[in-house]
Amino acid sequence: MTAAITQQPHSGEPWLDDLAQEQDEYFHSGATQPYPFRLDQLRRLKAAIAANEDRILEALRTDLRKPAFEAFIAEVGFLYAEINHTIKHLDGWMKPRRVGTPLQLMPSRSAIYSEPRGRVLIIGTWNYPFQLIMAPRVGAIAAGNVAVLKPSELAPATASVLSDLIGKTFPRKYVAVVEGGVQTSQALLARRWDYIFFTGGGHVGRAVARAAAEHLTPITLELGGKSPCIVEGDADLDLAARRIVWGKFLNAGQTCVAPDYLLVHRSVRDQLLRRMADRIRTVYGDDPAASPDYARIITERHFDRLAGLLPGANIVTGGRMNRADRYIEPTIVEGVALDHPAMADEIFGPILPVFAYDSLDEALHIIRQRPNPLALYLFTRSRSTEEKVIRTVPFGGGCINDTMMHLSNPDLPFGGRGGSGMGAYHGRHSFDTFSHHKSVVRSAGWLDPKLRYQPYAGKLSLIKRFFR
């Protein structure tokens, strides 16, 4: 039976009941829990991705005009690395973890067991439409769960390849892909799950949280936010220009951890902006629309939203647009106020507002006026500046003297805080996200002091000695 489901909820919901029952029965059979099974599924997933690699890259090209190099490193190659890391470490992750036992519980042993959550729902988004739904799936496999995957309808070519790949590799009782739009998502969220993992915007994230609350379902929300990039006066400006341009305009700026606005020390502002403009021309040419290495905006609706951010801004470089092609040139702007629409919400496109500051405290004040960012980037040669920013600004994760590369280390948790999300994943952290950690105290029976039992008369002063 295929794992791909395209039936729409408005035609009735019995199919969802049937799917839930199939997956519940399969999960409770215990088939997904043994280590050899999990390992085999990870290897099958990797083999299926490899066999469909060209189709995946072509689908990403169709949906986002994503260059093959970017599509590989940020989607397919990223998944290979995630799967390889998980295969290497899974046996150790699954073992019960011994922890200490306090004196009052002796003679006993304490351990934490990781058990799968059960039936999980993973909802992906459109900007990295393959990776952002499959990377959580790696964690769900590793932890021993069954799953339903809901890809974004805004990237239909990728959703179709994903559905076909999963359907031909796994039975739907183990993992099913459900395609559809908003009504499909609503129908899925109306049901009980053992865990929900959502990647997307804050508005929809709140709706997911409300739906999960109806069933007291635990969730991970991977959202976004306005991720700042600070360039101090002592920074290596050539390095900063290369890495900011790369991180900002990768995937035409449609990356949740892309630098969303630039805070640059006034003493180096002009030098940095010249270097960045030169760098854009170097990597994309005089006409980025003709570059094979530059992606497109996902839909005309998102194009219109981005185009509406430019009025009132002074364009440093870029600014050319073509709605029919969903093309917006890599654009750097100045002269926008902190209450300008470009600073209200995450830009999620190839527009970078720039603000000059005179002291680091001024830059940090601007950041703290906004919700906690998903990422933060700092370019400096000063270790004391690094420590000050890391310790005083709440953010999900980030880089010193680079952008976005913290995502590529599977030993680092990736996730936001507050408005930029809750929960984390990648590597061991994905395994933990999709696991319940069961605490167990194993007590010996050969010693059973009467001190803890009733009657309590005369025992309080003695018991206090164990706690003081």
- Among the three residues 381, 398, 415, which one is the final residue of a domain in this structure? 415
pLDDT digits (tens, 9 = 90+) for 365-391: 999 999 999 999 999 999 999 999 999
Sorted by sequence, the CB contacts under 8 Å of residue 71 that are 6+ apart come out as: 56, 57, 60, 61
Higher-confidence residue: 468 or 340?
340
pLDDT band of 237, cuts 50, 70, 90: very high
* CA atoms within 13 Å, Cβ hemisphere of 280: 25
Among residues 150, 130, 146, 153, which one has the least CA distance to residue 82? 130
Q: What is the dihedral of CA 175, 179, 182, 184, to 10 degrees?
A: -60
Q: Is the residue at 377 inside a domain?
A: yes
Residue 1 has pLDDT above 70, yes or no: no
pLDDT at 466 over 80: no
Check residue 273 and give its pLDDT.
Answer: 98
H/E stretch holding 215 reads: none
Cβ neighbours for 181, distance < 8 A, ≥ 6 positions apart? 153
User: CA of 316: how far to CAs of 253, 277, 333, 438, 460, in Å?
Assistant: 17, 8, 5, 56, 75
Domains of the chain: total: 2
pLDDT tens per residue across span 303-355: 999 999 999 899 999 999 999 999 999 999 999 999 999 999 999 999 999 99
* Predicted confidence (pLDDT) per residue in 424-460, tens digit: 999 999 999 999 999 999 999 888 888 889 999 988 9
Same structural domain for residues 291 and 177? Answer: no
Same domain? For 183 and 233 the reply is no
Mean pLDDT, the chain, whole residue set: 94
At 31, give phi and psi (nearest 5°).
-65, -30
Q: Is the pLDDT of residue 249 over 50?
A: yes
Q: Domain range holding 29?
A: 4-223+421-440
- Angle, CA of 296, 246 and 130, to the nearest 5°: 50
Does residue 208 carry a pLDDT above 60? yes
C-alpha pair distances (Å), 287 with each of 283, 293, 351, 352, 403 = 10, 12, 16, 18, 25
Q: How confident is the model at residue 14 (pLDDT cuts 50, 70, 90)?
A: confident
The answer as to whether 291 is a domain residue is: yes
Catalytic residue among 70, 75, 82, 222: 222
Residues 149 and 286 in one domain: no
Q: In terms of domains, do 180 and 96 share one?
A: yes
Q: Which of 82, 256, 329, 399 is catalytic?
A: 256
Task: Please report the pLDDT score of residue 13 as a whole number.
Answer: 66
Segment among 7-11, 146-150, 261-265, 424-428 with least mean pLDDT: 7-11
Q: Does the residue 13 lie in any domain? A: yes
Beta carbons within 8 Å of 19's beta carbon, 6+ residues apart: 5, 148, 172, 176
Q: Are 436 and 377 within one domain?
A: no
Same domain, 404 and 269: yes
409 and 433: one domain? Answer: no
Whether residues 133 and 255 share a domain: the answer is: no
141 and 238 within one domain: no
Residue partners of 250: CB distance under 8 A and separation at least 6: 70, 74, 258, 404
Residues 154-189 have pLDDT tens digits of: 999 999 999 999 999 999 999 999 999 999 999 999
Question: In which band, very low, low, confident or very high, does the pLDDT at 9 lie, cut at 50, 70 and 90?
Answer: very low
Residue 256 designated active-site: yes
**CA dist., res. 223 & res. 430, Å (int):** 16
Assess if residue 281 is contained within a domain: yes
State what percent of residues in the chain have pLDDT above 90.
90
Residues 131 and 244 in one domain: no
Q: Is the pTM of this model over 0.85?
A: yes
- Per-residue confidence (pLDDT) for residue 7, from 0 to 100: 41
**Residue 454 included in any domain:** no
Same domain, residue pair 262 and 404: yes
- The model's confidence at residue 6, banded by pLDDT at 50, 70 and 90, is very low
- Predicted local distance difference test score (pLDDT) of residue 468: 77
pLDDT-above-70 percentage for the chain: 97
**CATH number of the structural domain spanning residue 242:** 3.40.309.10
- CATH code: domain of residue 160: 3.40.605.10
Indicate whether 445 belongs to any domain: no
**One domain for residues 40 and 56:** yes
